[in-house]
Amino acid sequence: MKIAQVAPLYESVPPKLYGGTERVVSYLTDELVRQGEEVTLFASGDSQTAATLVPMSEAALRLQGEQIQDPTAHHIRMLELVIQQAQEFDIFHFHTDYVHFPLLRRIGTPAITTEHGRLDTADLKALFAEFWDVRVVSISKSQREPLAEANWVGNVYHGLPADLFALSQKPEDYLAFLGRISPEKRVDRAIEIAKGAGRRLKIAAKIDESEKDYFDLKIRHLLDDPLIEFVGEIGEHEKQEFLGNAAALVFPIDWPEPFGLVLIEAMACGAPVVAYPFGSVPELVDHGKSGFLAEDIPTAVSMVKKIDEIDRAGCRQVFEDRFTAARMAADYITLYTQVISEETVPLEREFSRGSETK
């Protein structure tokens, strides 16, 4: 199958630093190639891929600093260049939110779009009502809830290369927090849980410029405790040690996170998770098997206290069963095949049929 992957240009594929979408696109693209598909990746020019790279910008836009004042200009140009090659591909797989939607109705090539972000803003309601026919893929079922009426053709959970992390059976005694410092990630709750359980907590976290005030005002004073260690931002290659050596990952979020990548990274290392059940979390964590769900501090504390009941090899097994890149790529190949076979009428006709029903 000739597949075009269209990634955002904010980060390279994979990203040098933070960037969940571009990282997943990287895992998917490389795995599709491994499984024998013919893949072309439209992405920033500093991307590294097993697919054929078509560079759409010199480098990741976020790394170019003040040079880039208007990222939309680069994405609009990319859309044009992508669409010009429509005849070359059996299917387009977009990862660019919705900016390409009007073009989808005017090309003959089948396409799906994976939505990577949260969809619960009022702005998207009218947009998705208009684009009732555009085939979209969710990354968790909870992500769909605010836009249940969109044309969801599949739900594909993210996956990681099976060998990216290894099972670590002999952890140290600390709890781990890994993520951005931001109000919805609730590192303050993680600290409270650790203190309540009398466990050490290591915090590996990025502090965005925009969250500096929040960190200074709400978080910094909480770190002044012998149990709490702030280790700053860590890179991909440090995650195995950080997560693998953790007794558990704490994930006490306060927002409907569409997919918590760190949850499956922890599982891949054999680290169980203690997580608040918001957004995708209940779909990703098998309570009692790969960790525990808890909705308040006392419950979370008691779950931490009995974390040894969770078998670390069992966590890894859940990862291997449900969250590998191989499974993700296989799911997408099934979807591609299905969408291509459904395309018996050209999009143009299907669209006009839709217009009549309005």
Contact residues toward its own copies (CB under 8 A) are 67-74, 76-77, 79-81, 83-84, 98-99, 101-103, 105-106, 121-124, 126-127, 130-131, 355
**DSSP H helical ranges for the chain:** 20-34, 71-84, 101-104, 123-130, 141-144, 187-197, 212-214, 239-244, 261-269, 281-284, 297-305, 312-322, 325-342, 347-356
For its own copies, the closer of residues 1 and 83 by Cβ is 83
For its own copies, the closer of residues 86 and 231 by Cβ is 86
**What CA dihedral angle connects 247, 251, 252 and 253, to 10 degrees?**
170
Helix/strand/coil percent split, the chain, to 5: 45, 15, 40
For residue 281, the minimal CB distance to its own copies (Å) is: 23
For residue 337, the minimal CB distance to its own copies (Å) is: 27
For residue 105, the minimal CB distance to its own copies (Å) is: 8
CB-count burial class (<10 Å; 0-12, 13-18, 19+) for 121: exposed
Q: Phi first, then psi: give them for residue 42, nearest 5 degrees.
A: -90, 115
For residue 122, the minimal CB distance to its own copies (Å) is: 6
Residue 111 in contact with residue 92, Cβ under 8 Å? yes
CA-to-CA dists, residue 354 to 105, 112, 150, 329, 334, angstroms? 11, 18, 14, 31, 26
Distance (Å, rounded) from C-alpha 151 to C-alpha 139? 14
For residue 211, the minimal CB distance to its own copies (Å) is: 17
For its own copies, the closer of residues 92 and 230 by Cβ is 92
Cβ-Cβ contacts under 8 Å for 148 (sequence gap 6 or more):
none
**What CA dihedral angle connects 305, 184, 43 and 47, to 10 degrees?**
-50
For residue 80, the minimal CB distance to its own copies (Å) is: 4
Q: Phi first, then psi: give them for residue 224, nearest 5 degrees.
A: -80, 70
For its own copies, the closer of residues 121 and 334 by Cβ is 121
For residue 79, the minimal CB distance to its own copies (Å) is: 5
CB-count burial class (<10 Å; 0-12, 13-18, 19+) for 298: exposed
Spatial CA neighbour of 155 closest among 172, 143, 168: 143
For its own copies, the closer of residues 344 and 355 by Cβ is 355
For residue 73, the minimal CB distance to its own copies (Å) is: 4
For residue 58, the minimal CB distance to its own copies (Å) is: 9
Residue 273 in contact with residue 296, Cβ under 8 Å? no
For its own copies, the closer of residues 37 and 257 by Cβ is 257
For its own copies, the closer of residues 101 and 292 by Cβ is 101
